[in-house]
Amino acid sequence: MGGLEIPGHLELLLTGEPVLDVYAAGPWRVPDDLVGEIFGRARELAASDEARSVRARLPDDWLPDATAVAPELLTLAGFLCGTAAVCGGTCAYLNWELVGGFLAEPDSFPRDPLQWQAPGSRWRPPGMWLFEGKAPRETAVALAVRCLEVLEGIAPFEERRRALLELYRQRQAYPALAAQDVAAPRADLEGLWSESAGPDILAVLPELAGPEGYLGWACEGLAAAHERLASAVPGVPPVLDTTAHLVLQAGLEHAPAGLASVAGTDDYLAVQERIAAAGDFDSRAWAKRTRGWLARGLAAGQIDACRAWLDMAVRFTGILQGLPGYPARPDPCHVPVGGFQYDVRALARPRRTANPLVTTLALMPGSGACARWRTGACSPAPAGPECGHAGARTPRQA
């Protein structure tokens, strides 16, 4: 008997290759020369006269030649992952690796296949660090476009990168909008750009719909994944209970008012009632229970629905923690992403050792039923001694 069957588009997770696993896009094998190639483009841009003209004040951990380009690329890459979205794999911190050469004390990045992060990027178009200096707005916008060009070649980012480039193209194509970008107060720019994003761009960049809009998008995805899992495996709690528990595991005592804009007054009050009824909520116990029914979903062939649920649950956490402002990097977050990733590997590649009882019992009279069980035969066993087998290896706890 083999392990759990993993769909072909996720097999890369089990190979030991350098992988970036943005849950919303799927795992991607990171080319060996990618970091060096992108850093070379970044260094060239940072050294340009336009980048040096920005003169933004950077934190002390950046080298002098980083200019505003380096932190811009870092926050932009986090945004391209998806704000508060789950990124796993041995290269989960690729956004940091890309700019590591600009840091005064470069970090060493772990290669644990079970690690994950959820970037809480505050980046929004038209840009962040590039607009902090005194350079002309036209220069800042042009540099932001070039930053997007620097990040070309990262497959999980590509759809969102192209949508952003299209938004820049649309703004630049209309003289009135271009003039607005020059004259508008800095504090108004992000709102103006988000408002100009049409349905096609919002479908790819839901963060631009604003915190409540992004919350609504995450809630819809969470409900769809939850419904799929509830129909496939037993023990999945009702969605309103889960919503209340997600609020509590996020460290919040009450459901934020912004949730009413998504769920409506009745469901908002129902969630609040469940929060009040939860009493002394134990986040760790909740995570253990949640990991249990997600593992049952995994065993039932619902790995994609499980991954979607985890991604939406983590985003939901970060969005709630940031309301009424930007989504935050989820903290605390007890959504059992790491435990699920362990379960995927444990069930798909269980470590096995031969049990000598198999050979011993096979030589005894009446062993045909055991032989048929080992070979996967489906015919009913004849009357005789019951054929038993050991249970699955118990995974470590979350």
Give the chain's mean pLDDT: 91
Residue ranges per structural domain of the chain: 8-204, 211-348
Q: Given pLDDT bands bounded at 50, 70 and 90, which one contains residue 66?
A: very high
**Model confidence at 375: pLDDT above 60:** no
Q: What is the pLDDT of residues 82-106, one digit of tens each?
A: 999 999 999 999 999 999 999 999 7
3-state SS track over the chain: CCCCCCCHHHHHHHCCCCEEEECCCEEEECCCCHHHHHHHHHHHHHCCHHHHCCCCCCCCCECHHHCCHHHHHHHHHHHHHCCCCCEECCCCCHHHHCCHHHECCCCCCCCCCCCEECCCCCCCCCCCHHHCCCCCHHHHHHHHHHHHHHCCCCHHHHHHHHHHHHHHHHHHHCHHHHHHHHHCCHHHHHHHHHHHCCHHHHHHCHHHHHHHHHHHHHHHHHHHHHHHHHHHCCCCCCHHHHHHHHHHHCCCCCCCHHHHHHHHHHHHHHHHHHHHHCCCCCHHHHHHHHHHHHHHHHHCCCHHHHHHHHHHHHHHHHHHHHCCCCCCCCCCCCCCHHHHHHHHHHHHCCCCCCCHHHHHHHCCCCCHHHHHHHHCCCCCCCCCCCCCCCCCCCCCCC
Q: What is the pLDDT of residues 272-328, one digit of tens each?
A: 999 999 999 999 999 999 999 999 999 999 999 999 999 999 999 999 999 999 999
Mean pLDDT, rounded, for 142-149? 98
pLDDT at 123: 96
Q: Given pLDDT bands bounded at 50, 70 and 90, which one contains residue 379?
A: very low
Q: Given pLDDT bands bounded at 50, 70 and 90, which one contains residue 368?
A: low
pLDDT at 112: 96
**Model confidence at 390: pLDDT above 50:** no
Q: What is the pLDDT of residues 158-170, one digit of tens each?
A: 999 999 999 999 9
pLDDT at 398: 36
pLDDT top residue among 109 and 330: 330
**Model confidence at 377: pLDDT above 60:** no
**Model confidence at 39: pLDDT above 70:** yes
As a whole-number percent, the residues of the chain with pLDDT over 70 amount to: 91
Q: Given pLDDT bands bounded at 50, 70 and 90, which one contains residue 2?
A: low
